[in-house]
Chains A and B, each alone.
Chain A
Amino acid sequence: MALEPLIYELSSPGRCGVHLPGLDVPASELPAALLRTELDLPEVSEVDVIRHYLRLSQLNYGIDKGFYPLGSCTMKYNPKVNEDAARLPGFAALHPLLDIEDAQGALMLMYHTQEWLAELSGMKGVSLQPAAGAQGEFAGILMIRKYHLSRGDTKRTRILVPNSAHGTNPATVSMAGYEAVELPSDENGDVDLDALLAACDDTVAGMMITVPSTLGLFEARLPDVIKAVHDCGGLMYMDGANMNAMMGVLKPGELGFDVMHYNLHKTFSTPHGGGGPGSGPVAVNEKLLPFLPGPIVGILEDAGSLDDVPLFGWVMPEQSIGRLKAFHGNFGIIVRAFTYMRMNGGSGLHDVSRYAVLNANYVRTALRDHYVVPHDRTCGHEVVLEGHWKDVPGIHALDISKRLMDYNFHPPTNYFPLIVPEALMIEPTETESKETLDAFIEAMKNIAREAHENPELLLEAPHITPVGRVDDVLAAKQLVLCCVPIPDWAGSPEFKTSTD
């Protein structure tokens, strides 16, 4: 039984979903020996395609459908004007290799985005190249590496990472050729300062830390952490995943961070797209300016007069770590983020952070008597609960998440951060109203009661979703990744197709 046929199962020989023009030039001879003889793509009409994907879309949950408190991901409302902005033909149909004179509008937009991000972070320079937060992290650690090498400091081989960090942090450290050293957290969920001081020596290249922490907490001793790492000659990287709590609240550059990344798809309302695309600009202080990934946008010629505009163009920082992707970053995402920043203005962005923190604390306060809040103090933009109770040991965070689906909510993030058992990480964002939060809180309270009175309801959840619990063990075992029969040349006998 299938909810919706595969597009291949809708196929009928001879159908096509587009009308293409005829050939208006003489045909040339095709090199027969180089041509393929088969092409196993579906054959469907336009209406088949529309209905198929529309029905698929209806099997999804998105922010446009309801509350999506997926912690660490900042699933705020994605304004519609952003989508219109990115689709303006002057942006959407713009070739990336045009001469700068022919792309001044795009370059000006990118330049101003760099300036906004520099001001919000208190940093000196920004590169919009990174395509996602993880690529921003990679850029940041490569810059730290190149900074040390440029000073002839070759003995630094380690990067410190708290055990509460996103998985991307240690993975980034390894990709950059460093050893990741995991630091424990203290009983408050903050970095264990004694362990940090013990780890700091002249082999430390730097430290990566998330602010507010992945527990959603502002660490009171953050200045001490930064000082300890700087004192041993290391640089400080701030994972900016949680910038939604920070705008107009704290400038990482002023606090002493050397480099950070933004996630435009979190803080600046660009859509998550079912997995991406995102955009992960990096911001740096003076020390790291020469190493920014490039090219970045600069002013090549100042404006002649006040009524005039300057000439914008590409600048490669002198000791750049290089290019992170082809062309200039995820420009379409940058357009959306720019639109959002202009709509909000500086004061509006500060309000975003104020209300994001208000909403998270409201949820925390309402649920503290029903769930274990492991670090129950004023939180930032998100709150982490424990999704289990001692008196009902069979219930796990995942069961609570699945049951939330029956209440028409998307679940919070499960099992992260790793230092909280059965973690449920809830990030409401500022775009949700008190009514929505109240409904969610009510659902969470109901679920806590159900867990004690009728645990089967949780264990068998979800009940109202298009599919029930999905067997991921079977998926990994049978490994059916493609529904197209494999042509002879592949000749891998263990390969199964879904029609088997």
Chain B
Amino acid sequence: MTYIPHTDADRQAMLAAIGVDSIEALFDAVPGEHRFPALELPGPLSEMEVLAELYGLQDANTHAQNFAIFLGAGAYNHFIPSAANHILLRGEFYTAYTPYQPEVSQGTLQAIYEYQSMLCALTGMEAANASHYDGATSLAEAVIVAVNETRGKRRKIILSAGINPQYRDVVRTYMQGQDITVVGDDKVRDVNELAALMDDETAMLAVGYPNFFGQIEDLTGLAEKVHAGGALLTVVADPIMLALFKSPGELGADMVVGEGQPLGIPLSFGGPYLGYFACTKKLVRKISGRIVGETKDNRGQRAFVMTLRPREQDIRREKATSNICTNQGLMALAAGVYLSLMGKSGLKTVAELCYHKAHYAASEIGKLRNFSVDTDKPFFKEFMVKCPLPVDEINAVLLEEYGIVGGYDLGQDYPDRENTMLIAVTEMNTRAEIDALVAVLKEIVDGA
């Protein structure tokens, strides 16, 4: 009995106290013909045996610690300081649950409050919640907020095709039971063309910053247009980029959502990640998810507590705007610790390293015959390369022969972008790795 501490004597004493002969007798209310079904499952293993099995499984994976990786497309290989993981392993943090009882949860509550504050600073917004599941569901929750803000009268949402295709899929999954129309992403449009789709049915317009292609679109004046049309502007932003580039708040956004994974959270095959969500003060009563506010205790001390609770499902039930309960709390803690460690100068340095290395890679690849780099718009850490061969063919050679994980094949999601590779470069990619990538690309084409 792996984690069950009962001795035989304990069990006997407890059964006697209850007044039954066996544990089985406690299940008499379960319908007899279905009670105690056989489980066709393997038997228990020791910790040593389980670890041996896990070592075997992890060895079958091509992971970023053993390979140079230029794959991004929504999940990024950024540096995570050791100190961050040590904080996450504090049992007082990770074995606690939602801070419903503030007197024994001030650690979690203050950490969330600080996370909210740092997120506000980064996004230029006035309020943030304690997290959603990931960038995609944060965007879906923003849609719900926008429709509710119009009291349900406006039910059209404009999404840029430059938002991560998986995020747009998730928005459609969330909206399938509601009478809400999602438009605008049938083809790639610039922000002016998107704004031209606005009408008096539109509740929200959302763009990527950068967009899925890595480009930083010029958002100047977009908020005014969206607001003039009576709708809300949501910006899906890369949090690392915000250390260097104008905040969505400065650009007039009403909601800023996105994936917080770059902020100290491991790639971990896609999760758990961090759906961050920030908004204007005006919207704070309309958003879902937990929110921590400052207050005082009965001894006059500063204290923190979950606030605006009547919005939430456990109180409002069928009238709640979202069913979210468990969130990504520990990942918000990770982001808070990461932002504290990086701080004002460190995060900016990370962003600059990404920017310069990505531009170096783009410039070197751009010099290669038969490759063309899209430099139409400014970019941050990802850029598009039109390749002379299918992307999967190039990637196969890169990985099998040179130990390099190549970029994302945009043709999977955008039929007009076949043979186009989306390359991500972060502070983790050394010049030697970039030079190796460039050399191999050259060789592949020269040899073709």
Contacts and interface: CB of A to CB of B under 8 A. Distances in A.
Contacts of A167: 312-317, 320, 325
Nearest to B350: A20
Given A91-B63, A275-B112, A405-B103, 18 more contacts: A34-B246, A41-B342, A61-B101, A91-B58, A94-B61, A94-B64, A275-B130, A325-B271, A346-B39, A350-B39, A472-B307, A478-B293, A480-B294, A480-B295, A481-B128, A482-B113, A482-B120, A483-B114
A416 B314 contact: yes
B240 to A, nearest CB: 12
B246 A90 contact: no
Contacts of B73: 97
28 contacts: A18-B81, A20-B349, A21-B427, A24-B430, A26-B360, A41-B339, A60-B93, A62-B92, A88-B55, A93-B267, A134-B325, A145-B176, A171-B318, A180-B317, A273-B93, A273-B329, A274-B111, A274-B330, A321-B173, A327-B271, A330-B272, A331-B271, A365-B19, A433-B10, A467-B103, A467-B301, A470-B295, A481-B293
Contact of B104 (A60, A218, A472): A60
Nearest first, the 7 closest Cβ-Cβ pairs linking A and B are A90-B58, A327-B270, A177-B177, A275-B329, A346-B41, A64-B91, A273-B330
Contacts of B246: 34-36
A361 B29 CA distance: 14
B202 interface: no
A290 B302 CA distance: 53
A3 B111 CA distance: 13
Contacts of B344: 16, 39-43
Interface residues of B, number: 215
B116 A482 contact: yes
B96 A274 contact: yes
A133 B176 CA distance: 19
B41 A119 contact: yes
Contact of A276 (B44, B75, B282, B330): B330
Given A254-B37, A476-B308, A492 B282 contact: yes
Given A343-B45, A346-B40, A60 B347 contact: no
Main secondary structure of the interface of A (DSSP, over half): loop
Contact of B5 (A83, A431, A492): A431
B97 A272 contact: yes
Contacts of A30: 244, 352, 355
Interface stretch (B134-142, B154-162, B190-198): B134-142
Contact of B323 (A49, A122, A172, A332): A172
B177 to A, nearest CB: 3
A105 B61 contact: yes
B106 A325 contact: no
Given A17-B81, A322-B169, A475-B295, A57 B93 contact: yes
B299 interface: yes
A255 B324 CA distance: 28
Nearest to B278: A482
A254 B118 CA distance: 50
A394 interface: no
Interface stretch (B46-54, B227-235, B366-374, B439-447): B46-54
Interface in A271-327: 271-278, 280, 293, 321-327
B337 A49 contact: yes
A444 interface: no
Contacts of A276: 131, 272, 326-331
B414 interface: no
A56 B333 CA distance: 11
Contacts of B319: 174
Contacts of A1: 300-302
B341 to A, nearest CB: 4
A335 B268 CA distance: 10
Contacts of B349: 20
Among A217, A269, A467, the most chain B Cβ lie within 10 Å of the Cβ of A467
A23 B357 CA distance: 8
A233 interface: no
Given A25-B356, A105-B57, A275-B326, A58 B107 contact: yes
A492 B283 CA distance: 12
Among A75, A177, A470, the most chain B Cβ lie within 10 Å of the Cβ of A470
Among B13, B259, B318, the most chain A Cβ lie within 10 Å of the Cβ of B318
Contacts of A166: 314, 325
Interface string B47-81: 10011011111111111111001010111010101
Contacts of A60: 92-93, 96, 104-108
B448 interface: no
Contact of B83 (A26, A50, A76, A344): A50
Interface stretch (A196-204, A243-251, A385-393, A446-454): A243-251
Given A1-B300, A28-B355, A92-B268, A102 B62 contact: yes
Contacts of A222: 31
Contacts, number: 729
A321 B290 CA distance: 27
B34 interface: yes
Interface residues of A, number: 214
Among B43, B58, B319, the most chain A Cβ lie within 10 Å of the Cβ of B58
A364 B176 CA distance: 44
Contacts of B87: 49-50, 53-54, 57
Given A3-B106, A362-B18, A90 B61 contact: yes
Contacts of A325: 133-134, 136-137, 170, 271
A232 interface: no
A157 to B, nearest CB: 11
A95 interface: yes
A439 interface: no
A322 B325 contact: no
B344 to A, nearest CB: 4
Contacts of A378: 20, 26, 28-29
Contacts of A405: 101, 103-104
A410 interface: yes
Interface string B291-306: 1111111111111111
Contacts of A249: 27, 30, 35-36
Contact of B342 (A16, A21, A416): A16
Given A95-B405, A331-B268, A434-B6, A177 B178 contact: yes
A67 B25 CA distance: 26
A50 B86 contact: yes
A348 B1 contact: yes
